[in-house]
Amino acid sequence: MSKNRKIQPLPRNVNPLRGDSIMNTKGERAAPSASEKPRQSARFFCLLAAALILLSFCPLSAAAGFLPVMSSDTIDYYVGYGEPELSASLRGNNEFDKGKSAAIQISIANKGKLEKLTYREYIVPANLSFESIEIFEDYDLVNNTPVTISRKVVYLEDYLVYSQAYGNMTMQKSLAEAEMRIEAGRTTATSLNVKFDCGSPYIEIGTGGDYTFIESIVSGSYTVASVPISVSPNTPAGEYLINVTVDYQYPSNAKMIRSGTTTDGGFTTFLYSDSYIQEYESRHVVMQVPIYVSSGAVFEATEINGTISAGKTKTVSVTYTNVGDEKAYNAECKLSLMYPLSSANHKALLGDLAPGESVTVDFPVKSHSSAMAKVYGVNSDIRYYDKDDRLKIAPSIKLDVEMINPFTIFTFKNALFGVLFLVALSLVYDYSKSRKKKGGGEENGPGQETQMTESEHEIKK
């Protein structure tokens, strides 16, 4: 006896691989009331007008790029495990002297590992289910009974589903392999914003608190950032930590996009597409890189006596004090003089100075005659040997030397002013004398002529 089953066509909205709907179907809902219809119509036309206005301001290609991707248009075959693992380290020497500046090289490496990929979407079709039926073959006349044989059969609708799924398997395999390659890149750190800082007031980071942008760091690779630092001369010896703060993203999941579907006889076939949706997750990590400040002698000019004058050689006395944490052996200082200052002996031996000890030395400083009266900055450099007989350079010291020019009458300006003053005084004297003579002649003129006439008469007599 054969089993009667009615073959039903596969619904259009059913995926033979997953068994779920891949097309949006309209759910049943109650018809709107008469009062709601005008309001819904007005809302619909307002939304339609707004969409048309927005689309009119951009080309069709750009508008197509902003079309949303529905979840029913994507396939997610794999779930990946693993993400970037960042570490920071210092390249080169990590020990620095007091009062020094340097550009340190900090390496940021990615040691992330892809742990595993788990199949989420099964593309291999299930096995066909067979059913045994008894088929009439002959009739036993002796026993007066029919003779049947057992046969395994598969029903038509099951075979069609299996055949369609098997045909889709090849195309979906290409999608799955593409997603596998994309998921393997989930250990790449992208869009890294890196900030360097130090919590100690003795260590200054030259970046000024700004972020350094790094495009990406692939797993198994590294990148190097140059960070300028300055160590204060008063920095206590010991370890200091450079904080490396990194904000970044990594591709956490990929979903393949179906570019379209074709339906034939009620069965859906997937079309191959290289497009996919990439999901990202953000991470915030803080790493620390240690540096060490070595001990050493640090000198200060605790007292400066003496002034200089233009065109003369004066003695300037400087008292040096070791304010560091290490004894200096055979210390020697040197002045760095520039025009208009000079010295016949700009070096002096300080000797051995333990922390807290001081010594005073004299320097003959000559200044040019055209030098201006002001405070001049003079650099003083000191080198010494440490307890292990290693030559070291102490942080440079700036000395403020004041120039004072005493007043003297025998100067070109004073001479010129004196000459001009005498000339002006002579002109004033001559002018006043001429005025006086002219006035006296007008008053005594007639009388004098009379007297002269009388005298002349006496002489004639």
* Whether residue 380 sits in one domain with residue 268: no
- pLDDT for position 461: 46
pLDDT above 90: residue 316: yes
- pLDDT for position 423: 83
- pLDDT for position 88: 96
Which of 293, 316, 343 is the C-terminal boundary of a domain?
A: 293
What is the per-residue burial (b if ≥16 Cβ within 10 Å, else e) of 273-301? beebeeeeeeeeeebebebebbebbbbbb
* Whether residue 117 sits in one domain with residue 89: yes
pLDDT above 50: residue 270: no
Lowest mean pLDDT among 338-342, 360-364, 431-435: 431-435
Confidence bin at 371 (pLDDT 50/70/90): confident
Higher-scoring residue by pLDDT: 81, 417:
81
Higher-scoring residue by pLDDT: 428, 131:
428
Q: Nearest 5°: phi and psi at 444?
A: -100, 10
User: Considering the domain boundaries, does residue 8 fall inside one?
Assistant: no
Confidence bin at 20 (pLDDT 50/70/90): very low
pLDDT above 80: residue 215: yes
Higher-scoring residue by pLDDT: 163, 307:
307
CATH number at residue 218: 2.60.40.10
Which of 293, 324, 343 is the C-terminal boundary of a domain?
A: 293
The full 3-state SS of the chain, as one line of letters, equals CCCCCCCCCCCCCCCCCCCCCCCCCCCCCCCCCCCHHHHHHHHHHHHHHHHHHHHHCCCHHHHHHCCCCCHHHEECCEEEECCCCEEEEEECCCEECCCCEEEEEEEEEECCCCCEEEECCCCCCCCCCCEEEEEEEEEECCCCEEEEEEEEECCHHHHHHHHHHHHHHHHHHHHHHHHHHHHHHHHCEEEEEEEEEECCCCEEECCCCCEEEEEEECCCCEEEEEEEEEECCCCCCEEEEEEEEEEEEEEEEEEEECCCEEEECCEEEECCCCCEEEEEEEEEEEEEEEEEECCCCCEEEEEEECCECCCCEEEEEEEEEECCCCCEEEEEEEEECCCCEECCCCEEEEEEECCCCEEEEEEEEEECCCCCCCEEEEEEEEEEECCCCCEEECCCEEEEEEECCCCCCCCHHHHHHHHHHHHHHHHHHHHHHHHHHHHHHHHHHHHHHHHHHHHHHHHHC
Domain of 273 in residue numbering reads as: 73-293
pLDDT above 70: residue 440: no
Over range 190-194, report the average pLDDT.
Answer: 95
Distance in angstroms (rounded) separating the CA atoms of residues 416 and 263: 113
- pLDDT for position 439: 62
454 token code pair:
């009388």
* Whether residue 369 sits in one domain with residue 329: yes
Over range 70-95, report the average pLDDT.
Answer: 84
pLDDT above 70: residue 283: yes
Sort residue 459 into left (φ over 0), alpha (ψ -120 to 50) or beta.
alpha
- pLDDT for position 460: 47
Lowest mean pLDDT among 251-255, 372-376, 413-417, 427-431: 413-417
Confidence bin at 271 (pLDDT 50/70/90): very low
- pLDDT for position 170: 64
- For 157-190, write each residue's pLDDT tens digit: 665 666 666 556 666 777 778 888 888 899 999 9
User: Considering the domain boundaries, does residue 441 fall inside one?
Assistant: no
* Whether residue 214 sits in one domain with residue 341: no
- pLDDT for position 161: 63
* Whether residue 178 sits in one domain with residue 152: yes
- For 379-396, write each residue's pLDDT tens digit: 999 999 999 999 998 888
